[in-house]
Amino acid sequence: MTEEIEIREGRPDDVPAIEKLYPDAFPDEDLLPLVKELLGEGPNVLSLVGIVGKTLVGHAIFTMCGVGGQPDEVALLGPLAVAPAWQRQGVGSAIVRAGLRLLQTTGTHQVFVLGDPAYYGRFGFEPDDHVTPPYPLPEEWRGAWQSLGLRGDEPPVNGKLSVPRPWRHRALWAP
Ligand SMILES: CC(C)(COP(=O)(O)OP(=O)(O)OC[C@H]1O[C@@H](n2cnc3c(N)ncnc32)[C@H](O)[C@@H]1OP(=O)(O)O)[C@@H](O)C(=O)NCCC(=O)NCCS
């Protein structure tokens, strides 16, 4: 990529651009209700934007979640979107890496994601069978449930992922 990308936390004045980004990046899927609900979760979510010049070109959300009764020690990554004209130029990777670094400095143990292993594997995510997602996944999505430990050799957490209300819709966890 030739132009410099700035990654920073999302602000209220980014919302109109974020609301335009998702339908552009996901023409066949309506993620806006989820995104809007998550942005209303305050400090429970880390909302990161990628800016080139003055244009918002990417966005991701990390939601703080609990496992086995321990609140806020892990995070769930998603959704992640990059504007079509900016895809495959490192924007998504830059946002994910910035989020992982931030979460590491704030003591998050592990990050989970439901996504394509071919993409998330590049950040070190691996299929996870220690933590179960909030709703059972269809068999064909098993390999898409992945996690990444942020605390060195610490053993992975075990249990069921407890998510805040915006993620408690079965449809988000099925094709
Ligand atoms: C998927 C997405 C977030 C990736 O962000 P990006 O900025 O385009 O990707 P990056 O530039 O960081 O990474 C590009 C690399 O990822 C690969 N890649 C991009 N999208 C991919 C996908 N959906 N699956 C697998 N690999 C993918 C590319 O082949 C490229 O690999 P290379 O560097 O070896 O050539 C972005 O393309 C997007 O928003 N797509 C539409 C929405 C979507 O499918 N989101 C899924 C995440 S929930």
Provide the CATH number for the domain around residue 64.
3.40.630.30
Closest CA to 109 of 155, 61, 144, 163: 155
Give the type of residue at 93. S
175 pLDDT band, cuts 50/70/90, is confident
Q: Which two tokens stand for residue 10?
A: 């999302």
Tokens of 131: 């933590």
- By the 8 A CB rule, do 68 and 159 touch? yes
Identify the residue whose C-alpha is closest to ligand 1 atom 24: 119
Cα angle for residues 58, 148, 47 (degrees, 5° grid):
30
Closest Cα to atom 21 of ligand 1: 119
Ligand 1 proximal residues by C-beta, below 6 Å = 25-26, 78-82, 87-93, 115-116, 118-119
CA 109-98-101 angle, to 5 degrees, is 35
Residue 161 reports pLDDT greater than 70:
yes
pLDDT greater than 90 at residue 46: yes
Give me ligand 1 centre to Cα 93, in Å. 8
pLDDT for position 18: 98
Q: Which of 30, 93, 97, 119 to mutate to test the pocket of ligand 1 (most atoms within 8 A of CB)?
A: 119
Q: Which domain holds residue 66?
A: 5-173
First to last CA, the chain: 33
Q: Mean pLDDT throughout 104-129?
A: 96
Domain count of the fold of the chain: 1
What number does the ligand 1 atom closest to the CA of 90 have? 11
Query: What are the Cα distances from residue 154, in Å, to 107, 149, 150?
Result: 12, 8, 9
Report the predicted TM-score, pTM, of the whole model to 2 decimal places.
0.94
